[in-house]
Amino acid sequence: MKSKLMLHNTLTRRKEEFQPVNPPHVGIYVCGPTVYGDPHLGHARPAVTFDLLFRYLRSLGYKVRYVRNITDVGHLENDADEGEDKITKKARLEKLEPMEIAHYYTERYHDAMRALGVLSPSIEPLASGHIIEQIAYVQRILDRGYAYVSNGSVYFDVERYNRDHDYGILSGRRLDDMLSGTRDLDGQSDKRSPADFALWKKAAPEHIMRWPSPWSDGFPGWHMECSAMSTKYLGDTFDIHGGGMDLMFPHHECELAQNTAAEGHGAAKYWVHNNMITINGQKMGKSLGNFITLEELFTGNHALLAQAYSPMTIRFFILQAHYRSTLDFSNEALQAAEKGLDRLMKAVETLGKLTPSERSTVEVEELRTRCEEAMNDDLNSPLVIAALFDWVRIINQIYEKQQTISEEDLRQLRSLVGTVVFDILGLRDEKATGSDNLVAPLVETLLAVRAEAKAAKDWATSDRIRDRLTEIGIRVKDRKDGCDWEIE
Ligand code: ZN
């Protein structure tokens, strides 16, 4: 690998050169969705961020095993140990089986991800399918003395752990500060300390999703699935753990503590976190009325939306910001993304029509270097896009004969732009999918007939074809040596 990929590691708080544990293999674990509601904007950002990382590592020649889980049990309403299971609650409200809820929303999530051009992970394990592994993992932590059984539940002993290790190392918190910020336990809790978290919860009689264990009929704590499933598929030391910044605490901090308690060391070498999407400067939330699902974005069916936005517009919008920056959603920003993407795709089309000259006045290597340097600098996709836009201008100049390109350079440029735009950024030309595939060849056929008519000075036929195309929304623009067309 000649490229030196630098990644910002949340654990060390600095950019580090990425060096896989076991090259050419790379293991990535990313926390996937809890499947109890429609996929929304908040799901799109981590999915696109880690899709970019997955695609880039593959393009560098690594053999990547990408594991992204589905949480279908154990995620309680308050993201800690209290409240109802999110999926069970939805099932109760809708009078369905919890697994019907999980299946339905998993399918919805997959449909949305496919639309966004997010590649399927290598393995997509379900929490409910790994209860045995989770029970074994809880037992290992108990055996090491970092957990205790209380009234049929098992809790992680944070204070005991913090004597030997550093609880808070990932999120930059200190246990003392955390404890001083919490109220004392009211005597109702099975926990010894408010900082402790559940590894296994005894199920209340009405709780539907439950499994037998050495401690009680119950279910695993939310953080347990990721410790058990990441190490099952990637080994007890693996390369990259990813997720949204909102998961850093408590979820990832607890996961790291569980791994360290069981193995004596953390599992992931690099922790990578994407920043959040805000809406008109505000955090997205159901109570704020600014909660937008991906389907609402794709259809425009939401009071905050001025229009529908295509999945590729959303993807391009996300890629236009660095993954560690906040990204503010607004109609203006999305409309700008839509225009930008359109310009880029038109240039890709123009690139296909360029004819080579004897020699080049352009330097294709410059684009390659800029894209590589940007991607290697902690996946700086906005800089990649800026480089592409400089080349949109250059491609149009070549087309207008203000610049020239040699046959070899043209071949290189087409291959490079294809790799960057389609393989790495994962964009696609939405206008050229499905039955739209037929539009271009049909228009080209009609324009060829028109060119013959013009050559024969049959102006009536030539004009009739152009006017008919204009009527159906296809604008024809004549040039010295042929014509261009576009869908209005
Ligand atoms: Zn997780």
Using the mean position of ligand 1's atoms as its centre, give its distance from the Cα of residue 254 in Å: 10
What 3 state SS string does 50-103 have? HHHHHHHHHHCCCEEEEEECEECCCCECCCCCCCCEHHHHHHHHHCCCHHHHHH
Q: How many residues does the chain have?
A: 488
Using the mean position of ligand 1's atoms as its centre, give its distance from the Cα of residue 67 in Å: 11
Using the mean position of ligand 1's atoms as its centre, give its distance from the Cα of residue 145 in Å: 23
Residues with CB under 5 A from ligand 1 (ion): 31, 226
Identify the residue whose tokens are 């008109």.
280
Using the mean position of ligand 1's atoms as its centre, give its distance from the Cα of residue 13 in Å: 20
pLDDT tens digits along 24-43:
999 999 999 999 889 999 89
Q: Determine the Cα–Cα distance for residues 191 and 197; give it in Å rounded to an integer.
A: 8
Using the mean position of ligand 1's atoms as its centre, give its distance from the Cα of residue 31 in Å: 4
What per-residue confidence (pLDDT) applies to 439? 77
Per-residue buried b or exposed e for 200-209, using 16+ beta carbons within 10 Å of the residue's own CB: bbbbeeeeeb
Contact 25, 96 (CB under 8 A): no
Using the mean position of ligand 1's atoms as its centre, give its distance from the Cα of residue 158 in Å: 19
Task: Kindly state the helix (H) or strand (E) to which residue 463 belongs, with its residue range.
Answer: helix 459-471
Kindly give, in sequence order, each residue whose CB lies less than 8 Å from that of residue 10, ignoring residues fewer than 6 positions away: 170, 248, 271, 272, 273
Q: Look at strands 482-487 and 474-479 and give their pairing.
A: antiparallel
Contact 130, 225 (CB under 8 A): yes
Q: Determine the Cα–Cα distance for residues 262 and 226; give it in Å rounded to an integer.
A: 13
pLDDT tens digits along 193-227:
999 999 999 998 888 889 999 999 999 999 999 99
Average pLDDT for 472-483: 83
**What is the pTM for the complete model shown?**
0.87
Residue 473 backbone class (left: φ over 0; alpha: ψ -120 to 50; beta: rest): left
Using the mean position of ligand 1's atoms as its centre, give its distance from the Cα of residue 421 in Å: 30
Tokens of 244: 């949204």
Using the mean position of ligand 1's atoms as its centre, give its distance from the Cα of residue 201 in Å: 17
Using the mean position of ligand 1's atoms as its centre, give its distance from the Cα of residue 448 in Å: 57
What per-residue confidence (pLDDT) applies to 21? 96
pLDDT tens digits along 111-160:
999 999 999 999 999 999 999 999 999 999 999 999 999 999 999 999 99
Using the mean position of ligand 1's atoms as its centre, give its distance from the Cα of residue 30 in Å: 7
Q: Determine the Cα–Cα distance for residues 463 and 470; give it in Å rounded to an integer.
A: 10
**Structure confidence at residue 191 as a pLDDT band (50, 70, 90):** very high
Per-residue buried b or exposed e for 428-456, using 16+ beta carbons within 10 Å of the residue's own CB: ebbbeeeeeeeeeeebeebbeebeebbee
Using the mean position of ligand 1's atoms as its centre, give its distance from the Cα of residue 224 in Å: 8
| Spatial CA neighbour of 344 closest among 411, 417, 436, 399 | 417
Q: Determine the Cα–Cα distance for residues 44 and 39; give it in Å rounded to an integer.
A: 8
Q: Determine the Cα–Cα distance for residues 450 and 478; give it in Å rounded to an integer.
A: 11
What per-residue confidence (pLDDT) applies to 284? 81
